[in-house]
Amino acid sequence: MIKRLQKRYALSKQGAKDLIKGCFACVLQNLSFMFPVGLLYCLVSDLLNGGVTGNGGIAFYIIGCAACIAFILLTTYIQYNATYFATYKESGVRRITLAERLRKIPLSFFGKKDLADLTSTIMADCTFLEQSFSHFIPELAGSVISTLLVSASLFIFDWRMALAALWVVPVAFAIVGFSAKVQEGFNQKSMDAKMACADGIQECIETLQDLKANNAEREYMGGLDKKIREVERRSIINEFGIAAFVVSASLILKLGIATVTLAGSVLLIRGDLDVLTFFMFLLIVSRLYDPLQGALQNLAAVISTRTNIARMNEILDHPIQQGTSELSNSGYDISFDHVGFAYNTGEAVLKDVSFTAKQGEVTALVGPSGGGKTTVSRLAARFWDINRGKITVGGMDISKVDPEALLSLYSIVFQDVTLFDNTIMENIRIGNKDATDEEVLSAAHLANVDEFAEKLPDKWNTNIGENGCELSGGERQRISIARAFLKNAPIILLDEATASLDVENETLIQTALSRLIKDKTVLVIAHRMRTVAGADRIIVLDGGTVAEEGAPDDLMHKGGVYARMVRLQNESQRWTLE
C-alpha cells in the first residue's frame, strides 16, 4: 500500500506513511463530532422518560459535555499535526527529491523542457499538492471512512431509515467520480494555457532588448495579452466544469434529508418507528451530510491533482545516469570508438565517429555548423549517453561511471558563461568549493581576472549581478577560465571560448588558456581556424562523421575540407565595406 501511495501521489516513503496517519486522524476527528449527537440523544431520551435523573443526573451531562469538548480538542490537535505539519515537511522533501532527480537526469531531458515548465513543476505543482495533502485527501478519506462506520451503526438501529438516509451517498460520489475524464481534460488545457503564458512572460523578459531594438514590443505584448486572456478563460471553464458536477452531487445529497423525513413520517404513522429513533436519524443526517458535501469538493480537488502528479512523475520516473564512483582510468586519453548518437528527433547527429584525443596534446574539433562538434564535447563528458559505440577515458568506459565522478576529471570552459548573483571570489570558487582565498586569488591571477577585479568598487567582493550583468563578455569569460584553473582537472574542454570576443580580450584569454592547458588532455571546439592553427591534431567533423584528421600542416597539404575552411576565412578577413 505504501508503494502504491508513493507512485500515485509522488510521495516519499515517509510521506506515504504520514498520509495514512493523516487519514486516520481525520477519521478520529469526524467521529469525535458524533459524540455530542449521542449525548443529545441520551438527553432527549431522559426528557421523554420524565427527567434527567436516569443516567446520573445533570452531573452526567455536564461531565459529558466537558468530555466531548476535550475529545474534540484532542482529535483536532492530532489531526492538525498529522496533516499540516507532516505535509509541510513532505513538501520540502518533494522539492528536494525533484531537484536531486533533475541533477541526475541526462541533459537530453532538458531539450524537451523549458525553464518555466520545470520551475512550475517544482514550485507551483508542489504548492498545489501541499494543499491537497493537508486538506483534500485526508479529509476525503476521513469523511468516507467515518461515514461507513456511522452507516453501519445506523443499520443496526433501523435498516429502513438507514437506506433512506444513505442511498444518496453513492449516487453523489458516482456523479463526481464519473466526471474524472472531463476534469482531467479541463485541467490539462488549463495547464497548457498557463505554461504558454509563463513561457511568453519569460521570453518577453529575456528578449526585451531585441524587442525594443526591432520596435516589436506592441506586437509581442498583443500576443502575450492573448495568452493571459486564455489563462483566464480556461480557469473559468475549469472552475465551471468542476462546479457543475459538485453542485449537482450536493443537490442529490440534500435529498437524503427529505427521504429521511418522508420515510420516518410514514413509519411513525404506521407505528413501526418510535419518535426517539426518528429524532436520532434527523440529528445524524443533519450532521452527516455536511462533511460529505465537503468530501465531494475534496474528491473533485483530488481528481484535479492528477495532472500535477503526472508532471512530477515525468521527472521522478525518467531514467537517470548511473555508474560506479570508482575511477579505473589509466591516463587521460579520450577515445571515441565508432560512436553514433541521435537526439530525440531521431535524426542522427553522429554516425560513425572514431578518434583519440591524447594526453599532453591539443585536439581541435572543427567543421561546418551542425557537423557535431559541440555534441562530441558533450558526449565526452557524458552529458548525454550515446546510442552505439564506446567512449573511453584512459581505457575506462565512461558509460559505466557515475557522471559526477567522471566530471571530476574535467574542466569545461563554455562559450556561454553562467555566473551567479554573487561576488567575484565566490563565482570563481565554484571550481572548487573547498579552495582557500589564496588559492582562488592565484587562479584568478592566472586567468587575468585581477586586471579588472582590482578596479571594481569592492574589488574581489564586488557583487557582479545576475549572470554577471555588471561585467563585459571578456571579463565573464576570464572568470570561467579562473574556475577551470582552480579545479585543475586533467582534461580540458574548450567550447568556442573566444568566439564572441574582441581582439584585446581574445588575446588575454588565449594567454590564460595557454597556461591552463599545459600537460593536459585538451579538446578544443573552434570556428576560427587561426585559433586551432597551433593544435597538435585536428578532427574535421562534417555531416556527423570524421571527414579528415591529422596535423594542421598535413591537412593543408591535402587540400580538403580543412584547407577550404582556412581559405574561406582568409578571404572573409579581406572583406571591406564598399
- Residue-wise pLDDT tens digits, 266-320: 888 888 887 777 877 887 777 777 777 777 777 777 777 777 777 788 777 777 8
CA distance linking residue 109 with residue 197, whole number of Å: 22
CA distance linking residue 413 with residue 483, whole number of Å: 9
More confident residue, 258 or 18: 258
**Nearest 5°: phi and psi at 462?**
-75, 130
Q: Check residue 502 and give its pLDDT.
A: 59
C-alpha cell belonging to residue 87: 505535509
Tell me what percent of the residues of the chain surpass a pLDDT of 90.
0
Residue 174: Cβ within 10 Å count: 12
Closest of 372, 360, 374, 370 to residue 491, by C-alpha: 360
Q: What is the pLDDT of residues 90-140, one digit of tens each?
A: 777 778 888 888 878 877 677 666 666 777 777 777 777 777 777 777 777
Q: What is the pLDDT of residues 210-244, one digit of tens each?
A: 777 777 778 888 888 888 888 888 888 888 878 88
Residues 6, 153 within the same domain: yes
* Sheet with 537-542: strands ordered across: 410-413, 491-495, 521-525, 362-366, 537-542, 545-550
3-state class (DSSP) for residue 56 = coil
Residues 279, 346 within the same domain: no
How many H-runs (helices) and E-runs (strands) does the chain carry? 23, 10
Q: Is the pLDDT of residue 497 over 70?
A: no
CA distance linking residue 377 with residue 367, whole number of Å: 14
CB 106 within 8 A of CB 385: yes
Pair type for strands 396-397 and 362-366:
unpaired
CB 486 within 8 A of CB 434: no
For residue 101, tell me if it sits in a domain: yes
For residue 328, tell me if it sits in a domain: no
Max Cα-Cα span within the chain? 120
Q: Is the pLDDT of residue 578 over 60?
A: no
CB 323 within 8 A of CB 405: yes
Q: Check residue 142 and give its pLDDT.
A: 77
Q: Which of 125-129, 342-346, 361-365 has the lowest mean pLDDT?
A: 342-346
Whole-model pTM: value is: 0.65
Q: Check residue 509 and give its pLDDT.
A: 65
Q: Is the pLDDT of residue 344 over 70?
A: no
pLDDT band at 263 (very low <50, low <70, confident <90, very high): confident
What would the mean pLDDT of 397-404 be, rounded to a whole number?
A: 87
Kind and range of the H or E run holding 170: helix 168-177
CB 157 within 8 A of CB 41: no
- Dihedral of the CA atoms 205, 207, 208, 214 (nearest 10)? -160
Across all residues in the chain, what is the average pLDDT? Answer: 79
What would the mean pLDDT of 67-74 be, rounded to a whole number?
A: 88
Residues 462, 552 within the same domain: yes
Q: Which of 12-16, 260-264, 331-335, 351-355 has the lowest mean pLDDT?
A: 12-16
Q: Check residue 130 and give its pLDDT.
A: 74
Residue 385: Cβ within 10 Å count: 16
Residue with cell 567543421: 367
- Dihedral of the CA atoms 44, 45, 46, 48 (nearest 10)? 80
For residue 34, tell me if it sits in a domain: yes
Of the candidates 284, 314, 344, which is a domain's last residue?
A: 314
Q: What is the pLDDT of residues 405-450, one digit of tens each?
A: 888 888 888 777 778 888 888 888 888 888 888 888 888 887 778 8
Q: Is the pLDDT of residue 192 over 60?
A: yes
Residues 423, 554 within the same domain: yes
Dihedral (CA of 325, 326, 330, 331) sign: positive
Of the candidates 264, 284, 314, which is a domain's last residue?
A: 314
Q: What is the pLDDT of residues 133-158, one digit of tens each?
A: 777 777 777 777 877 877 888 888 78
Closest of 308, 324, 174, 186 to residue 242, by C-alpha: 186
Q: Is the pLDDT of residue 572 over 70?
A: no
For residue 445, tell me if it sits in a domain: yes
Q: Check residue 48 and give its pLDDT.
A: 67
CA distance linking residue 499 with residue 484, whole number of Å: 18
The separation between the first and the last C-alpha atoms of the chain, rounded to the nearest angstrom, is 78
Residues 305, 161 within the same domain: yes
What would the mean pLDDT of 517-543 be, rounded to a whole number?
A: 78
CB 13 within 8 A of CB 2: yes
CA distance linking residue 79 with residue 81, whole number of Å: 6
Q: Give the count of domains, the chain.
A: 2
Q: Check residue 54 and give its pLDDT.
A: 52
Q: Which residues, in sequence order, are CB contacts of 129 under 8 Å at separation 6+?
A: 9, 10, 91, 94, 305, 308, 309, 312
CATH of the domain at 286: 1.20.1560.10
Q: Check residue 500 and give its pLDDT.
A: 52
Q: Is the pLDDT of residue 499 over 60?
A: no
Q: What is the pLDDT of residues 439-484, one digit of tens each?
A: 888 888 877 788 888 888 888 888 877 766 777 777 787 888 888 8
Q: Is the pLDDT of residue 50 over 70?
A: no
Of the candidates 281, 314, 347, which is a domain's last residue?
A: 314
Q: Is the pLDDT of residue 575 over 60?
A: no
CA distance linking residue 191 with residue 330, whole number of Å: 51
Residues 341, 465 within the same domain: yes
What range defines the domain where residue 125 resides? 2-314
For residue 323, tell me if it sits in a domain: no
Residues 432, 508 within the same domain: yes
Residues 310, 353 within the same domain: no
CB 422 within 8 A of CB 464: yes
Burial of 503-527, coded b for 16+ CB within 10 Å and e otherwise, reads eebbebbeebbeebbeebbbbbbbe
CA distance linking residue 133 with residue 17, whole number of Å: 12
More confident residue, 492 or 117: 492
Q: Check residue 112 and give its pLDDT.
A: 65
Residues 287, 382 within the same domain: no
Residues 341, 309 within the same domain: no
Pair type for strands 396-397 and 410-413:
unpaired
For residue 321, tell me if it sits in a domain: no
For residue 359, tell me if it sits in a domain: yes
Residues 118, 205 within the same domain: yes
For residue 128, tell me if it sits in a domain: yes
CATH of the domain at 339: 3.40.50.300
Residues 498, 567 within the same domain: yes
